[in-house]
Amino acid sequence: MLKYTLKRLLRSVLTLVILITIIYALLQFMPEEGYFKNYEKMSRVQIDTALRNMGLKDPLYIQVGRFIKNLLMGDLGVSYRYRVNYPISEIVKSKIGVSMRLGLISMAVSLPLGMCLGALMARKKNGLADRLGNAYIVFIQAVPNAVYFIFIQLYGSSLLGVNMLYQEGDWTTLILPVTSLALPSISSYAMWLRRYMVDETNKDYIKLARAKGVPNTTIWFRHVFRNSVVPMVNLIPGSVLMTISGSIYTESLYSIPGMGGLLVDVIKRQDNSMVLALVVLFAAMSILGLLLGDILMGIVDPRISFAKKEGSR
């Protein structure tokens, strides 16, 4: 287990380094104006000098090496356009809390609801609840969330009489963003739990338990539900960590001062250094989330072993 964890950790670091290298290589092709606040007013010589001072004319490996070295010390560089010469780590620090709170609230809402819906759908397969739930899942999965988020914002605010945009300290303005974030999560939790539970009910040991005369409730709660929840555990750390990156779309729509909205902002202002820093940060979150998910699953389910089997490829 320890060996596996270490190996995965090392691989994750490698992935991150490769990603940073790729981004730096690609940034060479970017227009230079993404590094300056007042690009139009500068002469060619000024631009070249400034680029050299920033170290952007150095060979690729030196740039990457410098970035990683700074990253290890918690320094993500400075912003060039969004807030001139302001450390990015400071900007990010002030935003993480907002995103995280929003994400955790929406997860606290969606996880129980999604689980209940999934269990209900699996329990009464092909019943009314199953059909309605499926229609809901199909709708959420098929329609781009860019579309129904707008309608939630539009009609939700007039229906509930709440403010359309987020305001610090007014909890009612959180209702709509949380709903927007929770709807797709509920559908995906419900979909997976239903699928795992239906698969589980078709297994032989459940048939045996039925034949032995184990009560139905016991079968559902002690066997089917418990075994189906295990694969769901895999998703949870990822979701928690990804709340930090926030939902890019939701935050920007409700102008919530979080990380997701920040990414959209800096893209619109073409701040190269901030885009780079945020992308690396988000990628790191996601990698860590997947890693934790796998490890957690190994802890929860003793049947899973990460050691290589004899004779397998």
Q: Which is nearer to other proteins, 2 or 146 (CB)?
A: 146
Q: Does 11 bind other proteins (CB under 8 A)?
A: yes
Q: Are 194 and 114 in contact (CB under 8 A)?
A: no
φ, ψ for residue 302 (rounded to 5)?
A: -65, -15
> What is the Cα–Cα distance from 119 to 220, expressed in whole angstroms?
9
* C-beta of 67 vs 282, nearer to other proteins: 282
Contact range with other proteins by CB under 8 A, out of 80-88, 167-175, 177-185, 283-291 = 283-291
Residue 252 sits in the site that holds other proteins (CB under 8 A) = yes
Q: Which of residues 129-148 bind other proteins (CB under 8 A)?
A: 138-139, 141-147
Phi, psi of 87 (to 5 degrees): -60, 135
**Among 51-59, 60-68, 211-219, 276-284, the segment contacting other proteins (CB under 8 A):** 276-284
Query: For other proteins, which residue of 100, 119, 174, 275 counts as binding (CB under 8 A)?
Result: 275
Among 1, 15, 49, 222, binds other proteins (CB under 8 A): 15
DSSP strands (E only) in the chain: none
| CB proximity list for 21: less than 8 A, separation 6 or greater | 60, 64
Cβ closest to other proteins, residue 150 vs residue 160: 150
Whether 103 contacts 243, CB under 8 Å: yes
Check binding of 27 to other proteins (CB under 8 A): yes
**Which structure tokens are listed for 251?**
């935050």
Q: Return d(Cα 25, Cα 56) in angstroms, integer.
A: 11
Q: Which two tokens stand for residue 206?
A: 């459940």
Give the residues lining the site for other proteins (CB under 8 A).
11-12, 15, 18-19, 23, 26-27, 29-30, 138-139, 141-147, 150-151, 154, 242, 245, 248-249, 252, 263-264, 267-268, 275, 279, 282-283, 286-287, 290, 313
